[in-house]
Each structure stands twice: as structure tokens, then as C-alpha cells.
């Protein structure tokens, strides 16, 4: 299979950047998208050119390290999968494929397709964890949790923090990510004691970064590789409002 690739190349955050065109011959349809880029990079290295920088780790759709925009869609057009799970059999001979990084102010470009997503880390550090002592793993029946509640919590816990939701949102909002991280803890007994404080701290951390506001385009849900529901955003807003009214301490330590 022959393909024409238009790839965004940018030396660093201060470089203007632009698209470069590459022609690939005999692309194996059994290759993953990242394996196809590996082949291209090998050709570039052999030819003495700079390889394309892109992130990856597990290549199994688990870690969330990989991620860029393919033909205008975050992670490509295959629903419910990361870019490492996209295979070349989903493309046709002669296709032209445009590849570019996440486009969001909160995710500055480091090089080529690699962006800085440390803003997500700072939001998690603000409250996306449980600090109470839970001891050793309890018996499965020691803390009764309704099946529906447990399933909802696990659905939100599937968020891998890849950033596709931000890249696809016209406003560059991170509310699907933050909503998922707040919801999966708030639904379980271990996370309930810090529910109010967590909502305040994580929302404040999100607002301190360069993320936009949510206006319910639902494009985030559409491209999420784990198909996380925007109902997490509603839960986050509810918890945040209740915590604000109750006067829970926000990140800066002063009551509202």
C-alpha cells in the first residue's frame, strides 16, 4: 500500500513549525499506525534526516502516552481506541494522511508530535488521590458497594489521561479528564471523606492552567479512547457547587 503523509515538524516550542510531506511505499496493512511511523523514521535515519518525534510506551492502549491527531481526529477515526491501536488496514492504497500534535494552549509543543501534558499531572497532584489510611486490602464484602455504583466508578477509572478530550474540544477544556478523576473516587467509600475538598482543589488546579471552559460540544466524549461519559462532568460540577456552598477549604487554604 502506498501512502502520502503530511506530518507536522517543529524543532521546539519556539519554532514556527510546518508540515513536511513523505511518501511511503509497500506499507503492510498488518502494521499499527506507530509501526508505520517507525518504518518512516528508519528510512529518515538511513537517509541522514531527523526522525519524527512522537510519544509511546505500552502500545496496547493502556498507558495513554501516545496521542496525536490523524486527519483532523484525535487518535484517528477508529472509535474507542488509541493511536497505537489504529492499524493500517483501516486505510486505503493512495490515501493522504495528515498527522499533527494535540492543539491546545495547555499542551505546548515540545517537538514534532510531542506535547507537554504536565498540566494533567498538576491537577492530579492537587487532589486526585485518597490520603486516608485504608490499611491492607479488605475482604471484598467488607464494604458493600452497589453493583451499578461500582461499575460507574470503574468506567470513570478507565481514563488514561491521554489528552484527546482537550485536543478535540473547541475550547481546549479538560473537564472530561477532571470529571472522570473526581467521579471515580467520589463514588467509592474510600474517596467520600475528601469528596468536597477534592472537587475544590482539582477544579481550582484546572482553572489555574490554560484550559478553556466546557460548552457541551461533547467532542471530548466522541474521541475518548475509553469512551468515558460526559456525565462525569455533571458530577464534577455538582460536587464543586456543593463544596463551594458548604465552605470547604480550596487549594489556597482559605474558605470561599
Q: Tell me, what CATH number does 218's domain have?
A: 1.10.1060.10
In a domain, 32, yes or no: yes
State yes or no: pLDDT of 100 exceeds 80.
Answer: yes
Do 66 and 135 share a structural domain?
no
3-state helix, strand, coil in the chain (%, to 5): 40, 10, 50
Domain boundary among 63, 91, 110: 110
- Which pLDDT belongs to residue 120? 97
- 254 within domain boundaries: no
Q: Do residues 144 and 239 share a domain?
A: yes
Under 8 Å between Cβ of 21 and 4: yes
Tell me the backbone φ, ψ of residue 81, rounded to 5 degrees. -150, 155
**Of 82, 110, 138, which residue sits at a domain end?**
110
Q: Is residue 251 part of a domain?
A: no
Span 197-225, pLDDT tens digits = 999 999 999 999 999 999 989 999 999 99
Among residues 54, 84, 110, the one where a domain terminates is 110
- Determine what percent of the chain is predicted with pLDDT higher than 90: 84
Residue where the block lists cell 494552549: 105
Q: For cell 491527531, name the residue.
A: 69
What pTM, to 2 d.p., does this model score? 0.90
Residues 130 and 76 both lie in one domain: no
Confidence of residue 113 (pLDDT cuts 50, 70, 90): very high
Structural domain that includes position 45: 3-110
Residue 85 has pLDDT above 70, yes or no: yes
Number of domains present in the structure of the chain:
2
Amino acid at each position: 500500500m502506498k501512502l502520502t503523509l503530511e506530518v507536522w515538524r517543529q524543532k521546539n516550542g519556539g519554532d514556527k513549525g510546518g508540515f513536511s510531506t513523505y511518501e511511503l511505499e509497500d506499507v503492510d496493512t498488518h502494521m499499527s499506525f506507530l509501526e508505520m511511523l517507525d518504518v518512516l523514521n528508519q528510512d529518515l535515519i538511513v537517509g541522514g534526516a531527523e526522525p519524527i518525534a512522537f510519544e509511546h510506551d505500552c502500545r496496547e492502549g493502556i498507558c495513554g502516552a501516545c496521542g496525536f491527531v490523524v486527519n483532523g481526529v484525535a487518535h484517528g477515526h477508529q472509535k474507542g481506541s488509541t493511536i497505537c491501536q489504529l492499524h493500517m488496514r483501516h486505510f486505503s492504497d493512495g490515501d493522504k494522511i495528515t498527522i499533527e500534535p494535540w492543539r491546545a494552549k495547555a499542551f505546548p509543543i515540545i517537538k514534532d508530535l510531542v506535547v507537554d501534558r504536565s498540566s494533567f499531572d498538576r491537577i492530579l497532584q492537587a487532589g486526585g488521590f485518597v490520603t486516608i489510611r485504608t490499611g491492607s486490602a479488605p475482604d471484598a464484602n467488607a464494604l458493600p458497594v452497589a453493583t451499578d455504583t461500582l461499575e460507574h466508578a470503574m468506567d470513570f477509572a478507565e481514563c488514561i489521561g491521554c489528552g484527546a478530550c482537550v485536543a478535540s474540544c473547541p475550547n481546549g477544556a479538560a473537564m472530561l479528564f477532571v470529571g472522570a478523576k473526581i467521579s471515580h473516587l467520589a463514588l467509592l467509600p474510600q474517596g467520600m471523606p475528601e469528596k468536597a475538598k477534592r472537587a475544590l482543589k482539582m477544579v481550582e488546579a484546572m482553572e489555574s492552567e490554560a484550559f478553556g471552559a466546557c460548552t457541551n460540544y461533547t467532542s471530548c466524549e466522541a474521541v475518548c479512547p475509553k469512551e468515558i461519559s460526559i456525565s462525569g462532568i455533571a458530577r464534577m460540577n455538582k460536587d464543586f457547587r456543593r463544596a463551594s456552598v458548604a465552605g470547604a477549604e480550596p487549594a489556597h487554604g482559605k474558605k470561599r
